[in-house]
Structure 1
Amino acid sequence: MLAYIIGVVLFALGICVSIALHEAGHMWTAKKFGMQVRRYFVGFGPTLFSFRRGETEYGVKAVPLGGFCDIAGMTALDEVKPEEAKRAMWRYPVWKRTVVLAAGSGMHFLIGFLVLLVMAGSLGLPNLDGDPKVQAVSECVRDVQDREQLAEFDEQACGPGDPAPAKEAGLRSGDVITAVDGEPVADIGETTSLVQERAGPTPITVERDGNTVETVVDVERIQRPNLDDAAVEEGAPETVTVGMIGVGFAQYLQYSAAEAAPATVLFTGDMFHRTWNALLRLPERIPLVVEAIFGAERDPNTPVSVVGASRLGGETVQHGMWEIFLLLLASLNFFVGIFNLLPLLPLDGGHIAVTWYERARDWLRKLRGKAAGGPVDYSKLSAVTMVVIIIGGGFVLLTVTADIVNPIRLTD
């Protein structure tokens, strides 16, 4: 239980640090361009403490669920003192305002990248492509009659007569299987299927330390539980006989210092793609969240709140799954970074959209020989902004409720 609590606290702390760095991204870039930053605070509610350095007040508030960076003249509704007028944000070029507004999401992307970079050189990055890289070579293979035995198999001691095909053939951790019985394989699924169909001596090709190694493995036919529930319900046998060689494939791939950065760049691109697709599917997941609140089984692909993410973080630490803990933290930062750039007020992406609208409007006015217009009147956008806030608040309320009454769990 203590490990779970530590995990929840660590994940919540990670979220708070991410939020603080988000606002710091706005502050640092604004100061770099010469804009006047009045305040930088972490949290909301009553002020716990603050101090002033130069023209900026820094502080921490009681509720650590956000933060803000107060830049003079961010919108036309912002009252600007006479001494601040020359450095009001709206007076600066569009590209500088865009950089400042996007810097918050940029910090989330940087945090996610650095977390993945650390993983690449230590715990490893998830093997999303299913590369058939051997992680462990079993001491033996044996018959298993039910799923409970299968779950406990690794803890069972091998008997003196139990076969160990992969070990006896000299396969090693780190070998990448490239062909089975002369047929090329590209992923774990293809490799497993071909091995399960074989029996007896079978040629297997592996890549080892950059060299191609040919070996012959005596594939053992053993009994295993039939994991196809639908087939079992229709009368299929509860156990099946399959070929096995006794290897475990890597779920995470580790990289050297030279390989870590390129691998992280590629993996980050993949995560951006997956996160964007998840964001597009978000509306269709909302009904499933509602159903989960009223007792339906919680779909693990439904969105979670900060509460749910922190609970998952606690479970990962409780079960020693630090790689999943870090992956959750990186994923959350990518999601928040992308979501924050949506062209909707009051998100940063909405402010960027307004900024570029002003630029396009002034360009058209110039073509017609007219002077540039003033800053957009945000009061005219208040109704749209309020709708987004209400929808966003409802979404948060739904996910928090679901994460309390019917949370997603890593383990049963």
Structure 2
Amino acid sequence: MEILLYVGGLLFVLVGLGVSIALHELGHLVPAKLFGVHVGQYMIGFGPRLFSRKFGETEYGVKALPIGGFISMSGMYPPSPEGADGEHTASRGAFRTLIQDARAANDETIDPGRASRVFYLLPVWKRIIVMFGGPFMNLVLAVVIFTVLLSGIGVQQGTTTIASVSQCVLPAGSTQTACAASDPIAPAAQAGVKPGDRIVSVDGTAVSTFAAASAIIQASPGRTIPLVVERSGARVTLQLTPVAAQRQAVDGNGRAVVDDKGHAVMHTVGYAGVGAQVAYVQQPIGAGVEQAVTNSGAVVSLIANLPVRLWDVGVSLVTGTPRDPNGPLSVVGVGRIAGEVAAADAPLLNRVAVLLSLLGSLNIALFVFNLIPLLPLDGGHIVVALWEGLKRAWAKLFRRPPPKPVDATRLVPLTIVVAGILIAMGALLLVADLFNPVKLPT
């Protein structure tokens, strides 16, 4: 059964990735067709063709390697200038050859009968829409997934219903599992709080979450405050006196705070000795958008530090040390995590929530990564269009003749270098995910 669940989690990610890629390419396809560009192919995957079918002027199909996709638009770049063949014959050097090969491949996409339906002739703003459409679809899908996750399923958090009441106060960090006769009675037990009580207000302030109630209690050490609970349908007012307790300080992200010497920073808080029931609490409808923005910022930060993160992955691979769970992963790594989550000994809803979060985060990564302003990524094509728009605006401002379309084939050598780096990065992550995978916290 565990193996079947593991395979199910893996298939969930593979299917989700396939849908994400398909929608990404659809985001390019739809505006391209709306703007009249001839699109010869719409393909999911790379490598050998598994199957395809032609509808109208476009061939739709799936290829063997589900690591991406593409649409083939006519005339992505301007046609080769006159005399280019002679230049190709006479020129020397690999870079010039690469440029000419790219020009020749681009020329093959331009059908003389559809010479006006080429991508490079579109206005700049239309080209930007076509290229931005792919990443935008990933962003939309991520927002939908996060909205279903946060506003449909909800977020696990402490409710105002009491699950447990401590009978005594134990020192911070104590491993003691039972109360001794000499241990002081916990404030909540002394006040008469019982499991099943629902907190209505603390110190005169109505509360709707356990976190809000805890904040008031922690801010009231040594002070007697009224605690209103609902018990068996009736409201009961209790008098609670939180005791002063030392607890380690945490920052806004819940991480422990340490001083310059690495010692834990402690502070005094009020302690009552109650634990809350945990339940899924549905969030406002805008929570999905907020989560997408937060995840986008995290991915931007990861990409900005990618060389360091990749170096750490390489070191961990060689030394066998545990990898950073927040570091980069390959598709294999994401699949392994999905399989482990699906097979974990946890409630079904918890596992579904984690898998949805994983798929949403994957789409955010596709959204941000594809906007990196380097060819062959979508962001590189957007930069080329913006550069041409800037040149045209400059010429118009100074009443000069309109400039020729930007010939992005001159950037093919740089494109190949970037592609090589991406392949090397993918290979490193793939090997690391196979031989030193990220371990999920237990």
TM-score, L = length of structure 1? 0.77
Give the drift of 1:280. 2.4
Residues in 2 aligned to 1:186 and 1:263: alpha-carbon distance in whole angstroms: 17
**Cα distance change, pair 204–375 in 1 and its aligned pair in 2 (3 A):** farther
**Cα distance change, pair 91–109 in 1 and its aligned pair in 2 (3 A):** same
Contact 1:121 1:254 in 2 (8 A): yes
Give 1:171's aligned amino acid.
R
User: Cα RMSD over matched residues?
Assistant: 4.1
* Residue 157 of structure 1: aligned partner: none
* Residue 203 of structure 1: aligned partner: 226
Give the drift of 1:195. 4.4
Residues in 2 aligned to 1:31 and 1:165: alpha-carbon distance in whole angstroms: 70
Q: Does 1:273 align with 2:301?
A: no
Pairwise mapping of residues 382-401 of structure 1 onto structure 2 (< 5 A)?
382-401=412-431
Give the drift of 1:206. 9.1
Deviation per CA, 1:357-385: give whole Å up to 9, x if none. 11111222334444323332233212221
Residues in 1 aligned to 2:30 and 2:145: alpha-carbon distance in whole angstroms: 21
Q: Does 1:406 align with 2:436?
A: yes
* Residue 60 of structure 1: aligned partner: 62
Quick one: which of 290, 294, 310 aligns to 2:314? 290
Contact 1:47 1:61 in 2 (8 A): yes
Give the drift of 1:21. 0.8
Structure possessing the higher radius of gyration over alpha carbons: 2
Quick one: which of 110, 114, 119 aligns to 1:89? 119
**Cα distance change, pair 273–226 in 1 and its aligned pair in 2 (3 A):** closer
TM-score, L = length of structure 2? 0.72
Give 2:276's aligned amino acid.
G
Residues in 1 aligned to 2:314 and 2:6: alpha-carbon distance in whole angstroms: 27
Residues in 1 aligned to 2:16 and 2:237: alpha-carbon distance in whole angstroms: 47
Give 1:191's aligned amino acid.
S
* Residue 26 of structure 2: aligned partner: 24
Which deviates more from structure 2 when the two are superposed, residues 293-302 or residues 22-31?
293-302
Contact 1:276 1:338 in 2 (8 A): yes
* Residue 248 of structure 1: aligned partner: 276
Give the drift of 1:297. 2.0
Contact 1:165 1:219 in 2 (8 A): no
Give the SS at the match of 1:67.
strand
Residues in 1 aligned to 2:292 and 2:248: alpha-carbon distance in whole angstroms: 36
**Cα distance change, pair 6–376 in 1 and its aligned pair in 2 (3 A):** same
* Residue 112 of structure 1: aligned partner: 142
**Cα distance change, pair 285–215 in 1 and its aligned pair in 2 (3 A):** farther
Residues in 2 aligned to 1:247 and 1:26: alpha-carbon distance in whole angstroms: 51
- Total equivalences in the alignment: 376
* Residue 318 of structure 1: aligned partner: 343
Residues in 2 aligned to 1:303 and 1:205: alpha-carbon distance in whole angstroms: 48
Give the drift of 1:62. 1.6
Quick one: which of 40, 43, 47 aligns to 1:41? 43
Give the SS at the match of 1:364.
helix
Quick one: which of 342, 361, 365 aligns to 1:335? 365
**Cα distance change, pair 300–47 in 1 and its aligned pair in 2 (3 A):** same
Runs (4+) of structure 1 moved beyond 6 Å?
143-150, 184-187, 223-228
Long gaps (5+) in structure 1: 128-132, 151-161, 208-212, 237-241
Residues in 2 aligned to 1:16 and 1:164: alpha-carbon distance in whole angstroms: 57
Quick one: which of 286, 303, 313 aligns to 2:328? 303
**Cα distance change, pair 202–193 in 1 and its aligned pair in 2 (3 A):** closer
Residues in 2 aligned to 1:306 and 1:149: alpha-carbon distance in whole angstroms: 44
Give 1:312's aligned amino acid.
I
Residues in 2 aligned to 1:216 and 1:356: alpha-carbon distance in whole angstroms: 66
Give the SS at the match of 2:115.
helix
* Residue 170 of structure 1: aligned partner: 197
Contact 1:195 1:243 in 2 (8 A): yes
Give the drift of 1:411. 3.1
